[in-house]
Structure formats: C-alpha cells, structure tokens
C-alpha cells in the first residue's frame, strides 16, 4: 500500500481552504441568515477559546435548530448560564476519584472485545474491520459505567443514535435556507419518528434506575448517584423538592437530552479515537513498540468535559489490544475520512491481526 496523506482539510473543507487563501486567516462569511467568523490562526483560536470569551463561544440558533431532534438541549447545545449549570452538574462524574471505579468495567469490556477478535482470527479471518468493534466496545463502556444500562438496551440506543446522526447530517445541509425548518421533509419525518422511539427507550431506562434506587436494590441512592445518570436524577429530585423553583434545574426532558448527548459523545468520539489510533498503528508497525500519545480535545471552558474519562478508556483499550495483537493495515483499506458530524472512515478500517497471546 502506498503512503497515506493526512492532509485532509482540503478534502473535507475545500471551501475554507479556498477562502483562507483569498481572504486571509480571519474572515467573515454568511451561513444563510447567520454571519460566521472563520479563524485559522492557532494563537487567535486559543485566545478565542479562553475563559474570558466564553460568552461568545456557545452554539448558534442554526446549530441548536439542527440538533433539536438529535441531542436536544443537553450540555453540548446549551449556552450561557444554562450551560454553566449543566457543566457544573455533570463534571463530577468524570473526576479522577470517580474514574477509579470505572476501570474494572473498562477492562472487562475490553477483555470481551479482545476475545471476540481472537475468535475471529481463530476462525480464519485474520483481517478484521476494526471500527465496528471499537464502536461496540466504546458503547458498552459508557452504557455500563455511566448509565447502568444492559448491553441489549445500550445496543438499541446506539442504533437509534447512529440513524439520527446520519439523518441530522443530511438535513443540516438545508438549514441555511430561511424557514427550512417548516418545510415537509422525509428526513425530518424520519428523525421525529426515531427521536420519539429513542426518548421512549431512555424514559424506560431512567424509570428503571429510579425504581431500583427507591427500592434499595443498590447499596444506596448515594452509590447510584456516582454514575452520570444517578447524578442527573439526584439533580432533578433536588429541583422537585424545591417545588420547581429556579430556571436552571433539570427536568425530565433535560435529563433525556443529556442522556442522548452523553450516549452520543461518550461512545462516538471514543470509538473514532480508537479506530484512527489503530489505523495509524497498523500503518506504522514501528509505533506499536513505542505507542505515543495523541488525543486532541478542544481548549477553554467549553472543552470536552469527559476528556479525562476518554483518556483513561483509550489507554486501557490500546494497552490491552497492543498486549494481545500485532496490527498490520489491510491491502483493502481505503483512506477516505468523511465528515458526518464527526470524522469517520468512509470504508471502515480493515486490519490484519496477529495474536501475541491469549487472555
């Protein structure tokens, strides 16, 4: 296989490359009725993302409109005081002291994936498409550790989220047209149907968690609250006990939107991080002996609230995979990153696996 080019900006965002050459590192363009500023200078980006500019780095009306039937008004789409409050509520779930309790689940989920890969190789399939395995693994981890959800329920949720993500990316192409949110569209109808089904599954899962906590089938309600869902339910209970006073507390719909946000962000980005890392390790076998670290997250106050969680998860998964297999990129691999809200491999990442030992 020939060398792969990682200079992909021109492929994914050719218009930005053209505009930057024509108008410089800082310019304004219009997306429908919204003016947008494009900044390509790293120093200016760092300054813009700093805490003193937090009030202007939220989500625009069009972005929030586009995500309405996908992740709703969860943390990713919140602005101002609402964002600050939601961030304050969820951040403790990803602190170092909480992550220690998640490691056992992460190791067990990864061990199951390693066994599945070993079985695939034993059946004569030494080439394995890794992105699907990493998506299942990351989904299993977030479902177990933060939502105490069964594998089957988690699988159903992730399937619905993936379908919503695909349709959101398609329908977002028309957001710039004024009034387009009122146009009848097969994408919009399907999104509403899928969103309704997803919210029903989440409501059932949330209700189960509340019943388990109420009946004391866990050590305590406080122990339940160590997971993200438990923290959100505790926050809603706090608002209910205050008889609904205050505008910033969690209600049932906000919890559902937060669940959608973290089911999506907690498995999609981690799965892609692992998938691209494996692709690079398979393309450069010498790196497997000195696996480095490259985990990009945003800067400033709106950086990824779960980045410490993702770092721990990625280190555990990659360490266990590298201890079990030698990777080689398949001759069938086609390097074609595509932007579907996140950066995905269009044709997957087929990799040759050489088992090193058994777990």
Contacts of 217 (CB under 8 A, 6+ apart): none
Instruction: Provide the whole-model pTM.
Output: 0.79
- Pairwise CA distance, residues 64 & 13, whole Å: 21
Quick check: helix, strand or coil at residue 329?
A: strand
Identify the pLDDT of residue 295: 40
Q: Which two tokens mark 175?
A: 């957001």
Point out which residues pair with 98 in neighbouring strands.
Answer: none
Question: Of 279 and 241, which is predicted with more confidence?
Answer: 279
Given pLDDT bands bounded at 50, 70 and 90, which one contains residue 176?
confident
What is the distance between the alpha carbons of residues 128 and 126, in angstroms, rounded to a whole number?
6
Which residue, among 218, 202, 208, has the nearest Cα to 164 in the 3D structure?
202
Q: What is the pLDDT of residue 298?
A: 59
Output the pLDDT for position 338. 84
Backbone angles phi, psi at 129, to 5 degrees: -80, 110
pLDDT at 129: 92
Which region holds residue 134: left if phi is over 0, alpha if psi is between -120 and 50, else beta?
Answer: alpha
Higher pLDDT, 150 or 231: 231
> Taking the CA of residue 333 as centre, how many other CA atoms within 13 Å lie in the half-sphere pointing to its CB?
27
Beta bridge partners of 337: 345
Q: Is the pLDDT of residue 187 over 70?
A: yes
Of 38 and 32, which is predicted with more confidence?
38
Cα dist from 219 to 7, 102, 205, 215, 227, whole Å: 52, 17, 19, 10, 13
Per-residue pLDDT, averaged over 253-281, amounts to 89
Q: What are the tens digits of pLDDT across the range 129-168? A: 999 999 999 989 988 888 878 777 888 998 999 899 888 8
Q: Which domains does the chain have, with CATH numbers?
A: 49-355 (1.10.630.10)
| 8 A C-beta contact, residue 233 and residue 206 | yes
Q: What percent of the chain has pLDDT over 90?
A: 16
Which has the closest alpha carbon to 275: 335, 198, 215, 194? Answer: 335
């Amino acid at each position: 296989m020939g060398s792969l080019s990682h200079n992909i900006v021109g492929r994914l965002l050719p218009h930005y490359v053209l505009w930057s050459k024509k108008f410089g590192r800082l310019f304004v363009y219009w997306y429908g009725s919204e003016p947008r500023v494009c900044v390509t200078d790293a120093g200016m980006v760092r300054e813009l993302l700093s805490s003193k500019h937090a009030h202007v780095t939220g989500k625009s009306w069009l972005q929030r409109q586009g995500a309405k039937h996908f992740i709703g008004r969860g943390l990713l789409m919140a602005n101002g005081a609402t964002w600050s409050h939601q961030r304050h509520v969820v951040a403790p779930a990803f602190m170092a002291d909480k992550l220690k309790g998640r490691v056992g689940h992460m190791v067990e989920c990864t061990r199951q994936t390693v066994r599945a890969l070993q079985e695939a190789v034993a059946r004569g399939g030494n080439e394995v498409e890794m992105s699907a395995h990493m998506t299942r693994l990351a989904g299993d981890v977030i479902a177990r550790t933060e939502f105490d959800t069964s594998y089957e329920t988690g699988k159903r949720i992730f399937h619905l989220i993936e379908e919503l993500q695909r349709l959101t990316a398609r329908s977002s192409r028309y957001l710039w047209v004024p009034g387009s949110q009122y146009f009848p569209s097969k994408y919009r109808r399907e999104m509403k149907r899928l969103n309704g089904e997803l919210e029903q599954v989440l409501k059932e899962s949330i209700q189960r968690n509340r019943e388990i906590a109420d009946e004391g089938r866990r050590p305590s309600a406080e122990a339940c609250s160590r997971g993200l869902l438990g923290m959100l339910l505790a926050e809603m209970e706090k608002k209910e006990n205050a008889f609904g006073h205050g505008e910033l507390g969690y209600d049932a719909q906000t919890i559902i939107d937060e669940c959608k946000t973290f089911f999506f962000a907690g498995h999609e980005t981690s799965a892609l991080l692992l998938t691209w890392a494996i692709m690079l390790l398979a393309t450069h076998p010498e790196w497997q002996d000195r696996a480095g670290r490259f985990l990009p997250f945003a800067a400033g106050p709106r950086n990824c609230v779960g980045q410490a969680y993702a770092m721990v998860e990625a280190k555990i998964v990659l360490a266990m995979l590298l201890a079990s297999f030698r990777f080689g990129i398949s001759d069938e691999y086609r390097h074609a990153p595509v932007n579907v809200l996140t950066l995905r491999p269009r044709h997957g990442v087929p990799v040759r696996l050489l088992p090193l030992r058994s777990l």
